Each structure stands twice: as structure tokens, then as C-alpha cells.
Homo-oligomer: A and B are copies of this chain.
Amino acid sequence: MATYRIAIDGMGGDHAPHSVIKGIDLFLSSNDSKDHNHFLIFGSQKELHPLIQQTKYLKKCYDIIHCDQIVENHTKPLNALRSFRESSMARAVKAVQEGEADAVISSGNTGAYMAFSKVILKTFSFIDRPAIPAVIPSVKGFTVMLDLGANIECNSQNLVQFAVLGHIYAQEYLKMDKPRIGLLNIGVEDIKGHVVLQETSDFLSTMSGLNYIGFVEGNDITNGNVDVVVTDGFTGNVALKSIEGTAHLITHFMKESVLASWRGKIGYTIAKPAFDSFKKKSNPSLYNGAVFLGLKKIAVKSHGGASDIGFASAVRVTTDMLKRHLTEKIEQCDYFKELIF
């Protein structure tokens, strides 16, 4: 039986602090492990205390650390580093560095959170830039895609590091032995993408321990033919948002078509449990929570718009990754030793 001490930015996110507090309690209510969890919640004592008093489980395992400052959504990373050192976000990150907590979670400003995490928790020496992965449902299960972070222009060294980080993340998060790794590209004849992608692909092909399957295309992200999709942060962001938009569009079309006729309405009423199970399956909240990969400690980013269900998922990801010793596995991974360019 282990104890996991998690630092929480209580004020980060569009629906904070409500969604944060309710989310932690939701996680605790459904947590069937024997492990003990303790939450260090950073933010306004006045706002947090009454909310926590209303919870069933969290009120037994928390501390509030009062902070006046909150990092706003529009605060730029450098400005955050300079002027928001006493914010709930910065202090939650610092708690991990100072050994008071094992991991940190925030739904706040991604750029600022990444900046604090890099500066305070540090990146492993063999990693140039930490990456943000996303877990996306696919026809056959889930796909890890990375980077979804601020790495907009990447060289092949960055992409190879992302591939190895994705490999480890898929092993721990998706519990796969030999995740299939693909490099996102386009299938236009003759011009198979940028030179950087060619170089990356050539290098990945030489790494015997990785299950590198070559170039994949946008539709492969969701078709179950690959487990880890490697790309730069720009393309990854566009792909992820396109996927989210389309999921919304198709659900909208479906609803519109079904509700347009009485037959559709009756059929829908009868099939409602099926629709509910579909809705649940395609609910992005259930996959919320992304580890900043490559840092020496676990920092988990929860979506800015995360609901309580979403925040509960982020807490689950955090305890899961602590349990599976993700950062130790990254530290000890032999592949990175091969990565001398």
C-alpha cells in the first residue's frame, strides 16, 4: 500500500475551483485501489474550504495551501515565470520539487504551466524538449499522439525523442508490450513529406527495439493501425482539434437526422441506452489528463475546459503513472543512450 501525495492547482481551468474539487472527490469515490491519496490544494482558502467541506471523500485527505495569485489564461509564459511565482500553479509545481508532493496537476494556462514545470522540475539531460501527448480513441482501442505542446518546429532529434517517449507512455498508459510507432506524414506521390521526416524515419528504422512501422497518415490516428503517432506540435494540434471538431459535427448530424422525423424520434427513444453508451465512449473527458513527458517529475495537464469528470480522469492518470513509475522508466530507458546524433 503506497501513499500518493498530489499537488493540485486549485484555481486553474475554466470551471475551477468547483470542477477541480468535485473531480478529485469523483476520482476518490470510484477509486478501488488500496493506495492512500493525499491532496495538497493550492489556491484561495475562502473559496476552496467550503467546497471541500461539501465533499464526501476529499475532506478526509487534503490540505489547503492558501495563495492569492492566479495565472490568467492570457498570461504569457515568460511573464508568468517573472510575475506569478506565488500563484497557485507555481506553488503546486514547487511542492513537487521540494518533496512535499509526488506529482502535480493543473487545468490552467498550458504555456505557463509548461514553463513553470520545465524551470522548477527540470527536463532530463537526454531530452531536448518535453512533449505533451494526447490519448485518442480509435476503432480498436486508443492511440497516443505526440507532440501536442509548444514544439512547433522540430528537428529529427526532437521527433526521435518523442517517438521513444511515446513508446514508454503507451507501454505504461495503454499497457502495451510493443506499441506500434508511426510517423505522421502525407501520401502525396513522390514527395513523401519534409526532409526532417525522412531523416527521422531513417533513424527510427535503425532502432531495433522500437516497433517502428513507418509513415502513417491522418486517418490512421483513429483507425487502430498504429499505437503511437509522432509529429510536431503544430501538426499534432491541428490533427487533434480536427478530430474533436469532426466528432462534434458527426454527432450533430446524427442528432439532426434522427430528430427530424417521428420514426427517428421513436427509434431514438427506444435505442437511448445505446446512444448513451455511444456518448460515453466518445466523451473526451474520459481521456483527460496528459503527462508532460521528459520532465524529472510527473506534471499532468488537465484540459482548460475540463468538467469534474475530466478532472477525475486527470487524477486517475496521475496516480496510474506514479504507480507505474513512469519517470523512472524514462530515466532508465536504454533507447535514449542510442540517441547520440
B274, A261: Cβ atoms closer than 8 Å: yes
Residues of B within 8 A of A246 (CB): 222, 242-243, 246-247, 250
Minimum distance in angstroms from A108 CB to a CB of chain B? 11
> Among A47-55, A169-177, A189-197, A295-303, which stretch is in contact with chain B?
A189-197
A191, B223: Cβ atoms closer than 8 Å: no
A281 within 8 A of B: yes
A219, B245: Cβ atoms closer than 8 Å: yes
B-contacting residues, A298-318, CB 8 Å: none
Residues of B within 8 A of A278 (CB): 253-254, 256-258
Q: From A257, which residue of chain B is reached at the shortest CB distance?
A: B278
Residues of B within 8 A of A218 (CB): 237-245
A contact face: mostly helix, strand, loop, or mixed: helix
Report A39-61 CB contacts with B as 1/0, cut-off 8 Å. Answer: 00000000000000000000000
A188 and B150 contact, Cβ closer than 8 Å, known pairs A219-B245, A247-B250, A274-B267: yes
B257, A277: Cβ atoms closer than 8 Å: yes
Q: From A274, which residue of chain B is reached at the shortest CB distance?
A: B264
Residues of B within 8 A of A267 (CB): 266-272, 274
> Among A18-26, A109-117, A159-167, A326-334, which stretch is in contact with chain B?
A109-117
How far is A250 from B187 in the complex, measured between Cα atoms in Å?
A: 23
A74 within 8 A of B: yes
A152 and B263 contact, Cβ closer than 8 Å, known pairs A239-B218, A257-B277, A258-B274: no
A339 within 8 A of B: no
**Most chain-B Cβ atoms within 10 A of its Cβ — which of A73, A217, A260?**
A217
A271, B268: Cβ atoms closer than 8 Å: yes
Residues of B within 8 A of A220 (CB): 241, 245
Report A219-239 CB contacts with B as 1/0, cut-off 8 Å. Answer: 111110000000101110111
Q: From A254, which residue of chain B is reached at the shortest CB distance?
A: B278
A139, B257: Cβ atoms closer than 8 Å: no
Which of B191, B239, B274, B282 sits near A260, CB closer than 8 Å? B274
Minimum distance in angstroms from A131 CB to a CB of chain B? 13
A99 within 8 A of B: no
B263, A281: Cβ atoms closer than 8 Å: no
A214 within 8 A of B: no
Which of B150, B187, B247, B271 sits near A266, CB closer than 8 Å? B271
A249, B138: Cβ atoms closer than 8 Å: yes
Report A271-302 CB contacts with B as 1/0, cut-off 8 Å. Answer: 11111011001100000000000000000000
Residues of B within 8 A of A75 (CB): 189
Minimum distance in angstroms from A312 CB to a CB of chain B? 22
A222, B194: Cβ atoms closer than 8 Å: no
A235, B233: Cβ atoms closer than 8 Å: no
A263, B270: Cβ atoms closer than 8 Å: yes
